[in-house]
Amino acid sequence: MQWLPGHRLKNRPYEIVRELGQGGFGVTYKAKNLSLDVPIVIKTPNSRLQKDINYSKYVENFKKEARRLAKLGMNPHPHIVRVFDFFQEDNLPCIVMDFVPGESLYNLVQMQGALSETQALQYIRQIGSALVVCHQAGIIHRDVHPNNILIHAKNGNAVLIDFGIAGNTQTSRNTHSGNRAFAPWEQMAYWEQQSSKTPQVDIYTLAAGFYYLVTGEVPTECLGRKYNNDELIEPQELCPSLSEGINKAILKGMEIYPENRPGSIQEWLKLLVIPQAEPEKPKQKPQPKPPQTYVPESYQPRSVTYPVSSTPPRTERYTQVTENSNSGVTRRNWLKYSGLAISTVVVTSIGKSIWDNVSQPTGEIDSPEESDSISSINSKSESTSPETANTNLSEDEFDVITVNDRGEEIDREKGRAKYFTEDLGNDITLDMVEIPSGTFLMGTEEEEIERLVKKYNSYGFRNESPQHQVTVPSFYMAKYPVTQEQWKAVAQLPQIERELELDPSRFKGDNLPVERVSWNDAVEFGERLSKHTGKEYRLPSEAEWEYACRAGTTTPFHFGETITTDLANYRGIYTYANEPKGKYRERTTPVGSFPPNAFGLYDMHGLVWELCADTWHENYQGAPNDGSARVSGSGITFVVRGGSWSYNPLYCRSAIRLGTARDNRGIGIGFRVVCVAPRAT
């Protein structure tokens, strides 16, 4: 029997408003208390459960649990829905709960994408505190998946719902297909009924929910992991910014065998600690200015000044040429005159060559052989000018596309870029695009940040502030992220500090970007390439990276107000502005598959997160304004930029910045190099 809207119950002054949803065993209704004129929720067994041979047994257990929940309701917990009534209607047991206005965590992630670690941790701790109370009262929820966690529309708190049925039905059938990914294997095994009634069931389900919140991905089913050896991708591989401690805590809670999980929810909650970075020490001396870059006589790029204002127009492109130019020069002419080049490798100047001079910092996280200080990153380079620095630059021509907030193309211009090609041997090359010097506004304006904070209920966007002016010297940058064939070529060169795995990537293909490489690996790559070529190759500073990504734009993306899956590889089932949903490719794509920006750089939005030289800082307070890398603090976490194939477009913007552990090798992490042209002698 199902109740239709408008149906009035006989045994209570309640009227059905509408059906909220059905699970495998229960049906939930929104109703109205006619006496008090307030909304309520009624849950009762559905027709499927009523036909079960053990239905009478379930009803008795249902009543017992209702009494326990009612006792909890006498001392309301802020993160447990209050159960305040139990009755029978048409021989159906009914639990009555408060109506919680809001959205489920599952739908929230579906709409907005993965949550920040801080926000997800807040919700998980709130539900964890609710489970502590439940377990102390002898109640095992057994269905703590994100669909049963609501975010209260008024106070923003997480509230655990859906008690009373799932926890009392036969374990071989109590988890319907929509929730299988969040359930431990023993909960679905009919011969494991007793072990499925322990706190370890709720620990697994909550940990699996945490996995989903921070990655946006439903985890591999536990049953398949146990019996088919299906792989569970570590959450840190999908979310490079996830701290190591939280990554380990999630995996511990999702151990296949219950005896390997923490003994109580309290024990598991103690594992949920985000390490605090060491406070930045006061600077003793001002940072040295980066060395002047040498530019071949055959090509002298013009200096470009980006407009600097407190509220730049969101669609404005930088077109002012400050040297030997006339007013009113268009972007097309500027690109033509400056002769910018496209290439596959990025080259920049942030003062010191990371690649030639950086070693690993001392500390507990490092191996004994990694003993040099990370502070060497910004020291002066001693490299000399190789003969290859005077190699003639090649020139490329391409289309530069601009779209509106609906993802519709509104402009297409011809761009030109100059580049040089580095020979890596065996017909493998690396194209390095010339990037002109210039001044730009780095970060996001405060008004836009507060809009994002309010819209997505996350303070993480404030790490893009304060917006500040940065002047960046000219440099060369890789046209594409480093590919797997380029990685293999360099990984076979003589070792400098550490070994490099020849084929680390999850997705295989010579022209696919290399991934599953750490910051330490990328530094070694640059050091080997530098020694092999006689030039300085290193990671870009994040200022260089954002400057190169924007390529003269002030919009959220270098394409304009939004992106589409015709322009970049990202989780296209989500949208940023008013564009239609697109494809979710679920893997990397060959580099250069999408149009470039005005500097001739490809794949700056999505595909893989790109490592930068900078250590992670919570915001731009005290950041340098000369384009150099900001290297200070613990040296444990470093910056990644640009988003990846598995992230929604919000996290692929030009200004987005996250942090990743220096030794994290995630399937979403890659990099591109910059080349610091040696100084003339």
Which strands form 92-98's sheet, in the order they lie side by side? 14-22, 26-33, 38-45, 92-98, 83-89
Give residue 392's pLDDT band: very low, low, confident or very high (50, 70, 90): confident
CA distance 532 to 529: 5
Query: Average pLDDT in the 69-78 region?
Result: 82
Is residue 107 pLDDT above 90, yes or no? no
More confident residue, 499 or 75: 499
What's residue 230's pLDDT?
Answer: 84
pLDDT for 497-521, tens place per residue?
Answer: 999 999 999 999 999 999 999 999 9
Is residue 316 pLDDT above 80, yes or no? no
What's residue 196's pLDDT?
Answer: 62
Per-residue HEC secondary structure of 447-494 comes to HHHHHHHHHHCCHHHHHHCCCEEEEECCEEEECCCCEHHHHHHHHCCC
What's residue 361's pLDDT?
Answer: 28
More confident residue, 364 or 539: 539
**Least confident span in 192-206, 213-227, 644-658:** 192-206
Q: Indicate the domain borders of the chain.
A: 14-98, 102-270, 333-676
More confident residue, 175 or 249: 249
CA distance 207 to 475: 45
Give residue 252's pLDDT band: very low, low, confident or very high (50, 70, 90): very high
What's residue 92's pLDDT?
Answer: 86
Percent of the chain with pLDDT strictly greater than 70:
77
CA distance 614 to 671: 13
Phi-psi bin for 78: left (phi > 0), alpha (psi -120 to 50), beta? alpha
Specify the CATH number for 333-676; select among 3.90.1580.10, 3.30.1330.10, 3.40.47.10, 2.160.20.80: 3.90.1580.10
What's residue 634's pLDDT?
Answer: 65
- Report yes or no: 121 and 129 within 8 Å, Cβ to Cβ: no
Cα angle 588, 593, 594; round to 5 = 110
Percent of the chain with pLDDT strictly greater than 90:
53
Is residue 166 pLDDT above 60, yes or no? no
DSSP letters for 614-655: EEP-SSSTT--SSS-----TTSSEEEEES--TTS-GGGGSTT
Is residue 162 pLDDT above 70, yes or no? yes
What's residue 263's pLDDT?
Answer: 94
Is residue 663 pLDDT above 70, yes or no? yes
Query: Average pLDDT in the 480-485 region?
Result: 98
Q: Into which CATH architecture does domain 102-270 fall?
A: Orthogonal Bundle (1.10)
What's residue 229's pLDDT?
Answer: 80
Confirm whether pTM is higher than 0.85. no
More confident residue, 616 or 486: 486
What's residue 53's pLDDT?
Answer: 75
Is residue 59 pLDDT above 60, yes or no? yes
| Superfamily holding 14-98 | Phosphorylase Kinase; domain 1 (3.30.200.20)
DSSP letters for 244-303: HHHHHHHHHHT-SSGGGS-SSHHHHHHT--PPPPPPPPPPSSPPPPPPPPP--TT--PPP
What's residue 554's pLDDT?
Answer: 96
Give residue 238's pLDDT band: very low, low, confident or very high (50, 70, 90): confident
What's residue 273's pLDDT?
Answer: 85
More confident residue, 96 or 345: 96
Give residue 109's pLDDT band: very low, low, confident or very high (50, 70, 90): confident
pLDDT for 395-453, tens place per residue?
Answer: 999 999 999 999 999 999 999 999 999 999 999 999 999 999 999 999 999 999 999 88
pLDDT for 318-327, tens place per residue?
Answer: 322 233 333 3
